[in-house]
């Protein structure tokens, strides 16, 4: 089967040599089956197109005969307007993919296209509503993001102010501690100096305050 297929493919040309083993045979067999299936599909498509061409030709002859019998007209004797109308009719039938140019075929095709149009419009309206809803949510999200950014900036400024304030208080507290320590040292030194000069401790400020109490 593979040999027959290769001979069919290459025709009078020599078939290239290849190693015969299970893998190559399987691959060639698969290719042969796919090729034959494709050829079959193409053949069916060609036959279908030939049948449609025959049907269109018969329809054209029928219309030509109808024009000749009913109106004593032929395609070669039609006016430019008549030829234009006929072209419109043919193009409409082609676009609508009708079986023939009868009114029934046109009505069916137009109804189908109208139904499809309504379905598409309904789908578009639904998508438009979804888009509006998403745009609304997006706008709300952007406004919320803007508000959060503004609040964040205010918070950062407030934190910077509080940080500077805390640093100032820390420096002030350090200064007061250092000052208090210095005063205690100076007081102690003054007391020691007064004690050394023979000052009675009962006359010190602390003793007088205690005595007053």
**Which pLDDT belongs to residue 70?**
60
How far is it, in rounded angstroms, from Cα 143 to Cα 147? 6
113-153 pLDDT tens trace = 888 889 999 999 999 999 999 999 989 999 999 999 999 99
Q: How confident is the model at residue 76 (pLDDT cuts 50, 70, 90)?
A: low
**Residue 146, Cβ neighbours under 10 Å: how many?**
10
Q: At what angle do helices 103-196 and 80-96 cross, to 10 degrees?
A: 60
Q: Name the pLDDT band for 75 (thresholds 50, 70, 90).
A: low
**Cα–Cα distance between 141 and 195 in angstroms, integer?**
79
Mean pLDDT computed over 172-189: 91
pLDDT-derived band at 60 (thresholds 50, 70, 90) equals: confident
When the pLDDT of each residue in the chain is averaged and rounded to a whole number, the result is 84
The radius of gyration of the chain's CA atoms, rounded to the nearest angstrom, is 53
φ and ψ at residue 158, rounded to 5 degrees: -65, -40
pLDDT, one tens digit per residue, over 22-34 is 888 888 888 888 8
Domain boundaries, the chain: 1-74, 158-211
């Amino acid at each position: 089967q593979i040999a027959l297929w290769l001979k069919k493919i290459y025709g009078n040309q020599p078939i290239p040599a290849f190693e015969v083993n299970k893998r190559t045979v399987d691959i060639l067999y698969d290719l042969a089956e796919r090729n034959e299936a494709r050829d079959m599909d193409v053949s069916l498509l060609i036959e279908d197109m030939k049948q449609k061409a025959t049907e269109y030709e018969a329809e054209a002859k029928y219309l030509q005969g109808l024009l000749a019998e009913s109106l004593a007209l032929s395609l070669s004797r039609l006016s430019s307007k008549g030829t234009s109308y006929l072209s419109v009719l043919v193009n409409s039938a082609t676009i609508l993919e009708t079986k023939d140019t009868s009114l029934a075929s046109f009505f069916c095709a137009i109804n189908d296209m109208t139904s499809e149009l309504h379905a598409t419009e309904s789908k578009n309206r639904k998508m438009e509503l979804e888009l509006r809803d998403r745009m609304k949510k997006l706008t709300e999200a952007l406004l919320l993001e803007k508000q959060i950014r503004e609040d964040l900036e205010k918070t950062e400024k407030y934190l910077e102010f509080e940080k500077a304030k805390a640093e100032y208080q820390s420096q002030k507290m350090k200064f007061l501690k250092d000052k208090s320590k210095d005063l205690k040292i100076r007081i102690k030194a003054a007391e020691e100096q007064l004690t050394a000069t023979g000052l009675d401790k009962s006359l010190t400020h602390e003793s007088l305050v205690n005595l007053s109490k």
